[in-house]
Every structure is written in structure tokens, then in C-alpha cells.
Amino acid sequence: MPQVDSKLFDRGQFQAELALKSSPIGAFKKAIRRAHEVLDARFKEGCNVRRLVEDRAWFTDQILREAWDRLEWCEDADIALLAVGGYGRGELHPYSDIDLLILLDSADHETFREPIERFLTLLWDIGLEVGQSVRSVDECAEEARADLTVVTNLMESRTIAGPERLRQRMQDVTSTAQMWPSKQFFLAKRKEQRARHAKYNDTEYNLEPNVKGSPGGLRDIQTILWVARRHFGTLNLHAMVGQGFFLESEYALLVSSQEFLWKVRYALHMLAGRAEDRLLFDHQGDIARLLGYEDGNAKLAIERFMQKYYRVVMGIAELSDLIKQHFEEEILRAGQSGQAQPLNSRFQLRDGYIEVTHPNVFKRTPFAILEIFVLMAQHPEIKGVCADTIRLLRDHRHLIDDEFRNDIRNTSLFIELFKTPQGIHRNLRRMNRYGILGRYLPEFGHIVGQMQHDLFHIYTVDAHTLNLIKYLRKFKWTELAEKFPLASKLIGKLPKPELIYLAGLYHDIGKGRGGDHSALGAVDAEAFCIRHQLPNWDTKLIVWLVQNHLVMSTTAQRKDLSDPQVIYDFARLVGDQTRLDYLYVLTVADINATNPSLWNSWR
């Protein structure tokens, strides 16, 4: 916690103001208002955000302690005031939850009912909104055993006032020896995280993301810490470096990413005047200016800021994957490592996860950087990538240069991925998550985190693109045949289905550069086809689809279909049944990947 900061809270002055007035409420409110002003001014001046959130927690400690001490507890009173949850970590944003636990030695609440009510009434009167619970040590154990959220909150606790021994007892009765052993805790947290991610469509790239709860948000960092604390005891992020879970460079990246998100969250709270964690359009421009972003020739300040945001959360999500995999190996499969099953000379399977046969595989045979994703697509039973191999991928992605991109082994592997019966979308997402896709296709790298300013899109360009490919895959599912009858029928009749996926990958790749993105994308698509030595017919079809991917939707939704000239012009442009089939499937996938709520029977 920070040192005494008299500018933030002058105890002497506060005590003097208390003495001058018959009611303490005015003095408390004045101190709280002044602290808000001081901290907000420091934020605008560019002070370190970590210091700011810790200073706010320190100040809140002082106010709560002053309020608690007004009740003149006797020295041996078996009651303590604890900070729990995020506040227990010593972190508070302007309108973060102030979670308190009033901890009793026994379950006899009546002994302290009156002073507790006076304390909470005072907090209400001075405008301090707190979330509080009153429990005995044994009641904490009972609640924690039944509720994952409770035990998580209690793990992060500090004593603000009263005897520390009560908190120590509470920690003992809720420890891993008594409940929620690390394996059970990890499985529960993993399930909780998956459910939370599903609420945000399993993407970091919603256009109005939740800084706290979305994939790659602050909650993902906290989940790492909670699991580590349950398994290893009291650990901070840096302690995990010593445990072999982080490299120093990864630790530095995670810390800087957390601080960036803290700045965003601090600014959000300050601008909204409440606990707001949704990065709404209304706030994005103001936050961009607060954080020093300026308009440039190619991009607006808001676009620069949001692209930075998306790249930060993607980095957190990537590291989170790595750490989760480490946890699975350390906690779930500790001492149970199965026998390796060779796939080829470069890769093998262990416990269902793919790993390299030697740490120098990517250095000696760089094409293995793409091969690993093709193997996972060809073997859908593979659960994922081992943690050490994820790290090796990260460490060797710099090898992807122009020579790599033009190597026929690599171009052949990339096309092979699109010919696999399943796993195309899943492995393109993995490639994007691990920073491989944007390096292999620099034009794709430019759209990573690229916003789309319109009424319909709810994802960034790269997320929308991968979502489109996901819909193309879903058309083959029998359970979706009723919702998309014609698309489901046609996807199985396309002569070369890999071409629709490649067209989907490039259909919006020209966005964010100014000009007609369809025309710009067609140029990129043609260069891709030439580099990958696709046949002339394939190249022409892909380029035509990218150039005209909006034609069917604009014709159907914006033109008079009863006009024979409209139909004639559309038919002349399309030319034949094969192109029509490809274009229809691409159009349906594009609409649904833009925003699932747009699709209806009329469309």
C-alpha cells in the first residue's frame, strides 16, 4: 500500500473539521470529494495508473477506519472489518465496488447488531456505496464451501480494523486443505471463464467491449492470479516467473497490458460518473483524447485508440491461453504425463495435446510454424497445443518474412489448411490468436483490431472475417439446414469449397485504407492467388467474389426486384450458375457474420 499522502487525506485537518461540527457527515463528504478531485487531476496529468488505483484504496481504508473507530470498540472485541475482492487486493477505480466483510468470532450477531447498523448507516450517509456481508468465521467456511464466488472473494482479503487473528482463522478454515482443492478450483474457474466468454460471443473484438469481462479483459488476468493463489499460496504476477509460468518478457507484457486497461477503466468510470465497464461508442472518442491519441492522415484518434485496445486484449488472451495450458499440465495432469505418440519427425501428441519433438523444430524447419495448424485441422481429436510449444511459436514467429511467405512449402501448407474437412475456422482463430496469421498475410495484419463505423457491424474487421468463415463451416451442419436451407444445400455442391473460404478471408481485407474496400481487396486477393500458384479459374473466381461480395445483398435489399432491368443487370454481372451459388453462400455468411440479429426469413 502507498505511503501516507497528506494531499489525499490530511488526518489532522480531518480531525479538526470533525471537532468543529456536531455531525461528522460533512467532514467525511468533504474528504471524499477532495480525494476524488485530487486523484482525477492526477489521472489527467498522466500519473501512473497503478499508483492511482492503490492510492484510492489507501484513502478508502483511512475513511473506513475513521468511521469504524467512531464506534469506540473495546480492545478485546471479537469483530473485524475486512476488505475483500478487488478492494482486498488494494485496487480501486473511481466507482469500483467497495466490498467489505464484517467478521465475527461467533455466530451471535445480536451482540454487535446495533454498532454494525450505526456503522453502515454512516457509510450510507456520507455517500460511500459499499457491498457488505456480516459473517462469523464458521459462516464464512459454510458459504465458501458452497459458492465459488465467495471463496474467491475471501482469498483476497485484508484487515482494515479489528484483530488480524480473525482473518487468519477465516483463511485457515477456507484454505485448500479444507475446501476447494486447487484441481477442483481450477476446473470451476475454467468453467466460469468459458461461460463468461460465451456472453461476449467468445471474441475480444466486440465493437463495444466490456473492459472487465470480455475475453482478454481484466477478469482474465484476475483468473490467472486466483488459480495461482489457490495452487501455490499467496502469489503476485511476478512470483509466477519464478514458478516457470512466465518469462520476464511475458510478465512485462501482461503488466503493461493490465495498466493500459486500468487507464481505460479509470477513464470510463470518471466520464460516466458510475461503475461503467462497457466501452460504449459514446465514451470511446473522449477516452482516446484523454489518453493522448490524435487524428492522423489515415486514422482517427478513436480508431488508433481502439486498435490499440484490441491488440492489447488479444495479447492478454494469448498469454491467458498459455498460462491456462500450463495450469492444466501442472494441476490436472501433474505426474501423469502420458507417452508421446509421434505424428511425424517434428510433432507428437501427449495426453491429446500437440507438442514439438525438439525445442529447435521451428528454428530448423520454419515451415513447421504453419504445419502445426494443418495437423490440428487434419486431426480434430487434438485438444490443443502444449504450453511450451505455444511459447516456442511466439518466440519464432519473427521468422515469417518475405522469404518464408514465398516458400512453396509454406504456400502449399496454407492452401492445404483450407482443404481440410473440418477445423478451418478453429485453426485460423488460433493462428490469429498466436500472431501468426497477420504475419503470414500482412494485409490481414492491417485489419486486426480495425473498427467498422456503421449501424450494422458489431465486430472488428478481423473478427467479422473469421466469423464469416465460421458461418460457412456451420452451413454444413445438418442442424442448421432448417434455418439456412438453400445455403446448406449449395455449400455441399460447390466444386471447390476451399475457394469460398479464401474469398471470405479476403472479402473485407481492404477496409480501413480509404477508397472502395471491394476493389482494394480484389487486388490483394489476386496477389495472394498468384503467390499461392492457384489455377487461373480459381484466381478469377476468388477475385470476382471479393470484388462483388456486396452485389447480391445491395440488389436484394436496395433495388426494385420487380424491375426487369435490375434482374437483367444482375444476371449479366453474375454470368453463370456456379458464380451465383458461390456468391449466394458468401452473402448469407457475410450478413450473419456482420450481426446475427440481421438475418430473418425476409432476407
Tens digits of per-residue pLDDT, 224-265?
Answer: 989 988 988 766 778 878 777 778 888 899 999 999 999 999
CA distance linking residue 373 with residue 361, whole number of Å = 15
The answer to whether 11-179 and 183-332 have equal CATH topology is no
Q: Which residue ranges make up each domain of the chain? A: 11-179, 183-332, 337-451, 479-603
Residues 6 or more apart whose Cβ sits within 8 Å of residue 165: none
* Predicted confidence (pLDDT) per residue in 499-557, tens digit: 999 999 999 999 888 788 999 999 999 999 999 999 999 999 999 999 999 999 888 88
Instruction: Read off the DSSP letter of residue 328.
Output: I
How buried is 146 (Cβ within 10 angstroms: 0-12 exposed, 13-18 middle, 19+ buried)?
A: exposed
CA angle 40, 44, 47 (to 5 degrees): 90
pLDDT at residue 597, rounded to an integer:
61
Does domain 183-332 correspond to CATH entry 3.30.70.580?
Answer: no
Structure letter (DSSP) for residue 278: B
- Please tell me what DSSP assigns to residue 559: S
CA-based torsion, 320, 322, 323, 325: positive or negative: positive
Please give the class, per CATH, of domain 11-179: alpha beta
Instruction: State how far the Cα of 552 lies from the Cα of 574, in Å rounded to an integer.
Output: 9
CATH number belonging to domain 337-451: 1.10.110.30
Residue 342's pLDDT is 94
Q: What is the SS3 assignment for 281? A: helix
User: Taking the model in full, what pTM does it have?
Assistant: 0.85
In angstroms, the CA 112 to CA 98 distance is: 21
Backbone angles phi, psi at 434, to 5 degrees: -90, 5
**pLDDT single digits (tens) 183-206:** 999 999 999 999 999 988 777 777
| pLDDT value of position 458 | 67
Q: Residue 448: count other Cβ atoms within 10 Å of its Cβ.
A: 20
Q: In terms of DSSP bridges, do strands 98-104 and 130-136 run parallel, antiparallel, or are they unpaired? A: parallel
> Cβ distance 498 to 418 under 8 Å?
yes
Predicted pLDDT at 109 = 82
Q: Which residue numbers in the chain have pLDDT < 50?
A: none
